[in-house]
Structure 1
Amino acid sequence: MEAHNSTQLETLVHQQLRECSPVFLALADPIRQDIIMMLTKHDSLNVAQIVERSPMSRSAISHHLKILRQAKLVTSTKIATEIYYSLDIEGPVQLLKDFLATTDRIIEMKTDGAE
């Protein structure tokens, strides 16, 4: 029975790891980390405002914002001709929490089984 539960948890954690991969990818880059930190200090910023606060070009910032959007760490809203970006991390944070909780359960099961 316990081996069955362990296999189910390992399958679940593998699926969760795949779901977290875009978040890990997005968070791995220092420029994207800087953009996230900028957005923690402001409700929203457009590309020009982010470029003003960064050494990167407009096209580079746009590329990084695309990756952050794909990871669902930021959302975009068009106002007139400008697109504003806002931090929206609740979903990705929950994915990471779920992954860590499942990993903890696997570790606990293996530790309990070793005794």
Structure 2
Amino acid sequence: METPDTSQLEIRVHEQLRSCSPIFLALADPVRQDIIMMLTKHEKLNVAQIVERSPMSRSAISHHLKILRQANLISSNKVATEIFYSLEIESAVSQLKDFIGTTEQIIELKTPDEAE
């Protein structure tokens, strides 16, 4: 049996991979992973509260928060003079699920049926 043309799916998965790259890069760093874990335990934290829970400096934490924000993994909300950060991963999870779904479709199309 001939394998159906997967070129359109491959183009789509390539585009999805590119759009997911900031998420992968943000999640690849252990410090950012720690920040994500902190925010899973607390509804919101400001920079000082995150620094208290980390061995990193305030400027380093701010840098990591910026990367997480750019990847749309966290959101920030200013209250008076403080900025509070909270986990906002629904969009990123949706992007990753779409990427995985397309990848699975390609694998299914390229994998010969075992029954044949």
Bin for the TM-score computed over the shorter chain: over 0.9
Counterpart amino acid of residue 35 in structure 1 = I
Show structure 2 runs of 5+ residues with no match.
Answer: none
SS of aligned partner of 1:77:
strand
Structure 2 Cα separation of the partners of residues 64 and 113 of structure 1: 45
Partner of 1:40: 40
Aligned residue identity for 2:104: D
> Quick one: which amino acid aligns to residue 91 of structure 1?
S
TM-score, reference length from structure 2: 0.94
Percent identity, aligned pairs only, is 72
How well do the aligned residues superpose, as a CA RMSD in angstroms?
1.5
Runs ≥4 residues deviating over 3 A: 112-115
Report deviation, 1:2: 2.2
Deviations, residues 71-107 of structure 1 (Å, cap 9, x unaligned):
0000000000000000000000010000000000000
Give the Cα–Cα distance (whole angstroms) in 2 for the partners of residues 24 and 2 of structure 1.
30
Q: In structure 1, list runs of 5 or more residues that go unmatched.
A: none
Indicate the structure with greater helix content.
1
**Does 2:54 match 1:54?**
yes
Give the Cα–Cα distance (whole angstroms) in 2 for the partners of residues 12 and 68 of structure 1: 25
Matched with 2:72 is: 72
**Deviation larger for 7-16 or 105-114:** 105-114
